[in-house]
Structure 1
Amino acid sequence: MKVLVMEKNLIMLSRIKNSLSGHEVSSNAEYSGEDVVFINVEAFPVDKIRELKAKGAKVIAYCSHKNVELQLEARSAGADLVVPNSQVVDAGRILDGLKP
């Protein structure tokens, strides 16, 4: 599966990418047809979710578990799934749970 990870924190990016072995992973700020996009909504605007959904991507948004308002905004913007940072580091398991 092609996966885009939109994350500015290099340590978090590394942890997410390590959990996605077996997938084709890119990590830039621009969507180029990937199947799934993981987006840190504390680092990128929530409106980016709408753009990604309009292009046909499945979107998994994540942020701090304490940032409930931002989680709600991400859901309202159309994210397929919203998870806390503590869960996104196991991105491979999250992908396994996504419906095709």
Structure 2
Amino acid sequence: MKILILWGFEGNAELLKADTSRIRAGQTFDDVDEEYAHQLIGKGLAEEVGESKQAAPKTTKPAKPDENKGGKADKADADAGAKKDGEGA
């Protein structure tokens, strides 16, 4: 995984395949250990760059009016329930 360092830190040079454990902001590392890279990304110290970067998730489709919670089917069910309650009283 290819990552770009956003913040400087003292890290694991072996997992980053770096010369020193002192990592500076702006450095880019190729072929970083996947688990270590995800830890750095999760902490906000790095971000994934390059072709290996995963595609953004697709957005969801907006609901149709009849799929909304207050759609026609729900209103009809509520009216039917109200009539039954009113008849028994």
Name the structure where strand makes up a greater proportion of residues. 1
Q: Same fold (TM over 0.5)?
A: no
TM-score when scaled to structure 1? 0.26
- TM-score using structure 2 length: 0.27
